[in-house]
Structure formats: C-alpha cells, structure tokens
Structure 1
Amino acid sequence: MEILSQTAILVVTLLVLLGLGVWVGVALLASAVVIFLMFTSSPVDAILGTTMWAHSASWTLTALPLFIWMGEILYRTRLAEDLFTGLAPWVGRLPGGLAHVNVVGCGIFAAVSGSSAATTATVGRISLPELKSRGYDDRLAIGSLAGSGTLGLLIPPSVVMIVYGVAAQVSINRLFIAGVVPGLMLMALFSGYIILWSRLHPEAMPDPENRIGWGERLKRLRLLLPVVGLIIGVIGSIYAGYATATEAAAIGVAGALIIAGIGGSLTRSSFIEALFGATRTSAMIGLILLGAAFLTSAMSFSGLPADLAKVISESGLGKAGLIAVLTVFFVLLGCFLDGISIVVLTTSVVMPAIAAVGIDPVWFGIYLIIVVEMAQITPPLGFNLFVIQNLTGRGIFEITRMIVPYFLILVLAVILLTAFPGIATWLVQQTI
C-alpha cells in the first residue's frame, strides 16, 4: 500500500504545482521535498546540496548549451532558404512534389540543430509560404511540416538525447549513433505517405514543377555544402571516434559561426541574440534536470523505483506488454508536458522497470524519443502545434486534424522498432 500512497502523493503534488503555473524545475524540487519529509528521515538540506553539485558538475552536460547555441546561430542564418532552393530541383518531380522538401529539409536541419521546435520553425518559415504560393494543399504542406519537424528530436545531435543520456547514465555517443537509422526510417515513412497521399488526391496537387537541367541542379546543390560540411564535422567526428559529444558540440558552434559569418548573417546583434537565446534555454533545461535529479534522490531514499520495478517484474507483462503500457502513458503525458519534462520526470522511475525485463537502455532511449515526438504533435500542448499555429495563424485543432496521419506514422515507427530492435542497435554494434 505504501507504493500506492507514495505514487498518489507524488502525482497529485506535481499536478497541483504544474496546474498553478509553477516552473517545472521548481515543481520537481518541491515534490522531492514532500517525498523526503513524508516518507524518509533523511536530511533534506544536506542531500539537496550534494545532489545539485553532483549533477551540475558534469562534463557530459556541457554539450547541451553548446548544441543549443549552435542551433540558435543557425536559426538566424539563410540556411532554411538555401535548403529549399538546393533541394527543390531534386524532389520537385517526385509524386508529392515540393512537399518532400519539408521532410528532407527537416531531416538535414535536425542534424545541426537538435531541437524539434527550431527545426519546425526554421524550415516552416520558408517552405510554407513557398508551398502555398505554388498551390499545394494545406493538409499536405502543414501536416508534412508538423510530422517532419519532430525529426529534430531523433536525428543527432539531439537535445533530448543528451537529457536522456544524462538522466539515465547512458553514453550520449551511443545514443547519437543509435538515432541515425530510426531517423532515416522515419524520413522514408513520411515521404512514402506523401507519395501515397498525392496519388490518392491528384485533384489537390498542383501541376508538376518545370524540369530543371542537371547543370542548374548541381549549381543549386552547392547551397547545401555548408550544412553538409557541418553535419560531417559534428556527427562524423563522433562516429569516427575522434571527438566526444561535447567536443563535437564545440566543433558545431565554430562551424555555425563560420557559416553565419560567410553568409553575412553574423552581426553583433544576431550574435548576442543567439547567445542569450541559448543561455535562457540552457538555464531552463538545467533547472529541470536538477529538479529531476533531486526528485530521483528522494525516490531512491524512499524506495519507490525499486518497489515499482518489483511490481512490474511480478506482473508478468514482459517486454512487449510493458512497452505498450508505457506508450499509452507517455502519449497521455504528452498532452500536458513538453518532451524534456517527460524524459526527466519519468526516466528515474521507469529505468529500474526497464532493467527488470531486460530492455537495452540505448534502445529504450530511442523508443522514448520517438514517443516524445508524438507528444510534440499531441493537443492541447504539443509544442510543434504552437509553432505551426504561429506560422500559419490556424487553430490548434484544425492543425491537429492535418497531422493525424503523421502521428499514426510515429505509432507505426514504435511498432517497427519494437518488432525489429536492430533498427536502433545495429549501427551501434557496428561502430562501437
């Protein structure tokens, strides 16, 4: 009965504080204090100090603000415009036409930004007006952007991957490598649906783009060289074993500054804006991580994770049953919380249960990120929905109807990942 009362008090405390508008990090800290006072006799103040220091003095964690800063710098460049111009001649003749630019563009930008919201906003501010002017159906243009924007969480470098790696004590390099094949799989699924939709709704498609010669195609393709070089510098250095995630993040910042400088968008004002933007985001995530670390300590002292793992292991759910239950649980959380909050709130609780049924923590990290991607497009608080609402002026629920197929594609991705775990683990086994 103690596990039920402890879980109920924790959930109610969190929901009340979050419902009152308290910052997520502060709500986590306050909930931890409640658990300490009600279910342990340990000194709260002493444990708070040691926990804060132990989890903030982390070399691995330094990659987080660097990758965020890299994304902030690139957000203020002409990268999205160059992506559209460079990709359009290559995808314009495919069934679905330029809607594929949303998929490929988001996939490329995700590889240098690490943020779903930044990926959606950066690609969308260029692609949506262009697709609208060419007569593309809003269901296709907006839906494909919302779905593809979630790739910012999965294709490395990913901020959420770093958060999960720190919270679960899993190698960030291994997570980055594991995210590549699932990311490419999702891109293929999104593009496949666009092709299918265009075949089923030919009346909603504009006339095919004029064919562009190979000379012009290659000329425009050169616009992609800076971002391709940056991807090779950041991700390639990790895969080749030349750099840790933190060192690769430093390479990424340097490369982003060079791209912005050559493109003429690196001014004193843009540099300061990017720096302050990265500082605000990093501080917010840092507070959430510290709050989650303290809550983890509180639950460890109270014995909640061990008791929960025991209950799950004795329930006979097995791997598939546990994943099915957790998927529903995470999607429900996604209705009310952002992706980072979901990861830090749940990791410490579910990891013992994951270990109890023998699930690989690297595989589980990729699974968790795909489910968190669902949360990005789940009303009423899906972050990508708000980004697209800001870009288009459409209502949240109107946008939601447009993204239902892409949500179902993410569900399909979870099923495929569960049925074929090698999708996430094969490249790690080949590389490390």
Structure 2
Amino acid sequence: PATLGLLIPPSIILIVYGVAAEVSIAKLFMAGVLPGLLLALLFSGWLMGWAILNPAKVPKADTGMTFGQKLRESRHLIPVVLLIGAVVASIYTGIATATEAAALGVVGALVVSASQGALTWQTFRDSLLGATRLYCMIALILSGAAFMTLSMGYIGLPRQLAEFVGSLNLSPGMLIITLGIFYMVIGCFLDGISTIVLTMAVVLPIIQAAGIDPLWFGIFLTITVETAQITPPVGFNLFVLQSMTGKQLPYIARVCAPYFSLMVFALLLLWFFPEIVTWLPGRM
C-alpha cells in the first residue's frame, strides 16, 4: 500500500513526468485520484478477504477509544491533513497553479509547525537544507535528461526508434504490454524518477505516434513504476519492510506478490476503461 504515495497527489513522480512530457501537472494530479482510490479499494478488499480466511493470524484489536480521545490524539495530525487538502484543492479548483500551491504549502507548513511549537531555527535550517538537496537532485536529473533529449534529437534516435516500432505494426494494446514489461524490468534496478526521466525522450514519440494519450500514459507509467517498488532485487519497499519486520527478503517478496497482481489488474482496468484516468481532468 505504500506504493500509493507515488500516485496520490502531491506526487514528485507525477511532477517529473509532467515536466519531461510537457503535460499539465494539475491535470496529472487530478488524473491520479480515481486510479489511486481504485488501488486502495483493491488493496483493502484483499486484506479483508485474507482476514476472513485467516482469522487466527489477524492481530488483536487495540483497546477501544472514545471519539473524543481519538480527536485529542489526532490534534497534531489533523492540521497537516487539512493543509494537504488545501494545497491539493487549490490546484483542482484552479485557484492556484502547481507552483503557487507549493508556495502555499510551504507557508502553511511553517504556520502549522510554529503553532505546534516545533519550529526552531535548527528545524527550519534542516528543512531548508533537505528541500535544497532534493531540488538540486531533481534539477540535475532533469537537466541531464534535457541534454540527453537534445542529443538524441540531433542524432534522430527517437524518430528512428519510433519508426522502427511503427514498422512492427504493433497494436496500441501490444505496445502498452511491451512498455509495461519494459518498465517493470528496468524499475527493478532504477528508482522511479530516474526511470521516467531517462526513457521519456525515446518513449514519448512512440506513444504519441500510436495515438496514446500522454496524460493517460503518465498514470499508467506511475502505476507500473509502483510495481517495481515491491519486486526484487531492488524493490525499495521490500527493504523498508525487511528493516521493520526482520523477515527475509524472499518471504517479504512472496507476501507482497498479491499486491503486484492487484496492480497489474488495475492496469488492465485502466486500459479497458480509460475514463478512470481521464474523467476528472476532463472536467477542469
């Protein structure tokens, strides 16, 4: 379920794809909502089914709490959730662009942290340095990708590759299956951002020549990259779970296999029902 973080806005992966493919980031954020909810429902359904079939393995429930106690324990979390909702809503409603919404989020985060007594010079400095490192990393990757895109344009590689793929006479469905397998394989060895940036210069002309909507493909690509987060040998989430549980990696990969299957099933649903992706952006 942690893989949903790549799809539910605000998502760095969607931002990077939007910049690389020149697709509206606001529309990408809107396009990711329904697929994200679909995956959440599939994951939840699997968990409920497993719990019904294996009642002895279900952990015992914690001590019950009243609504007032839950509200009191959530007093530090509720402002953060409201801030995220405000940032995303400002993009969806058109009140702010993605950049303006990011600025709103920064100001809101400062206000929330100050109101909770967590804003000190040290925390502000650490947050600023962390954000700078992250931005520099993404900026260097994007600049390298832009240079690679320009170089490939000069030698004509994307056009030649697109023509080669076109000469294979693959149907759009077969092309999507081929690209899905391709991204699942390379995603086992590269992180999501690098995967998208390094391949967009070649893949984008191919999907455009096949008549595939780049907006739809962005969500398809994000979910495909998510599958790589739970596939060995370099599935990031597998290592996180290993450190949390102390279990061996093969065991964790085996118990995560149903979630991989559910994400593949979700991709099939998106192919046969593309409105799951395009309906919300189409209402902007």
Question: 2:168 corresponds to which residue?
Answer: 315
Q: Number of paired residues? A: 284
Question: 2:89 corresponds to which residue?
Answer: 236
1:338 paired to 2:200: no
1:418 paired to 2:271: yes
| Separation in structure 2 between the aligned mates of residue 265 and residue 392 of structure 1, nearest angstrom | 30
1:376 paired to 2:229: yes
| Separation in structure 2 between the aligned mates of residue 384 and residue 209 of structure 1, nearest angstrom | 26
1:257 paired to 2:110: yes
Question: 2:253 corresponds to which residue?
Answer: 400
| Separation in structure 2 between the aligned mates of residue 255 and residue 237 of structure 1, nearest angstrom | 13
Question: 2:16 corresponds to which residue?
Answer: 163
Question: 2:206 corresponds to which residue?
Answer: 353
Question: 1:184 corresponds to which residue?
Answer: 37
SS in 1 for 2:262: helix
Question: 1:90 corresponds to which residue?
Answer: none
Which of 50, 53, 57 is the equivalent residue of 1:204? Answer: 57
User: One-letter code of the match for 1:249?
Assistant: A
Over aligned residues, Cα RMSD in angstroms?
1.8
Which of 143, 147, 158 is the equivalent residue of 1:290? Answer: 143
| Separation in structure 2 between the aligned mates of residue 222 and residue 420 of structure 1, nearest angstrom | 40
| Separation in structure 1 between the aligned mates of residue 124 and residue 255 of structure 2, nearest angstrom | 36
TM-fit CA distance, 1:311 = 1.9
Which whole-Å deviations, capped at 9, do the CAs of 1:51-85 have from their partners, x for residues lacking one? xxxxxxxxxxxxxxxxxxxxxxxxxxxxxxxxxxx
Question: Do 2:219 and 2:277's aligned partners in 1 also have CA atoms closer than 8 Å?
Answer: yes
Q: TM-score, normalized by length of structure 1?
A: 0.63
Q: TM-score, normalized by length of structure 2?
A: 0.93
TM-fit CA distance, 1:389 = 3.2
User: One-letter code of the match for 1:339?
Assistant: G
TM-fit CA distance, 1:419 = 1.2
| Separation in structure 1 between the aligned mates of residue 236 and residue 67 of structure 2, nearest angstrom | 39
User: One-letter code of the match for 2:167?
Assistant: E
SS in 2 for 1:150: helix
Question: 2:157 corresponds to which residue?
Answer: 304
Q: Report 1:115-126 matches (<5 A).
A: none
User: One-letter code of the match for 1:230?
Assistant: L
| Separation in structure 1 between the aligned mates of residue 2 and residue 126 of structure 2, nearest angstrom | 23
TM-fit CA distance, 1:202 = 0.7
Larger Rg, first or second structure (1 or 2):
1
- Relative to structure 1, the CA distance from residue 170 to residue 412 in structure 2 (aligned partners, 3 Å threshold; closer, same or farther) is same
Runs of 4 or more, structure 1, over 6 Å off, are none
Unaligned stretches of 5+ in structure 2?
none
Unaligned stretches of 5+ in structure 1?
1-147
| Separation in structure 1 between the aligned mates of residue 40 and residue 226 of structure 2, nearest angstrom | 13
Which whole-Å deviations, capped at 9, do the CAs of 1:25-76 have from their partners, x for residues lacking one? xxxxxxxxxxxxxxxxxxxxxxxxxxxxxxxxxxxxxxxxxxxxxxxxxxxx
| Separation in structure 1 between the aligned mates of residue 38 and residue 281 of structure 2, nearest angstrom | 16
Question: 1:362 corresponds to which residue?
Answer: 215
Q: Percent identity?
A: 53
Which of 233, 240, 247 is the equivalent residue of 2:100? Answer: 247
- Relative to structure 1, the CA distance from residue 387 to residue 286 in structure 2 (aligned partners, 3 Å threshold; closer, same or farther) is farther
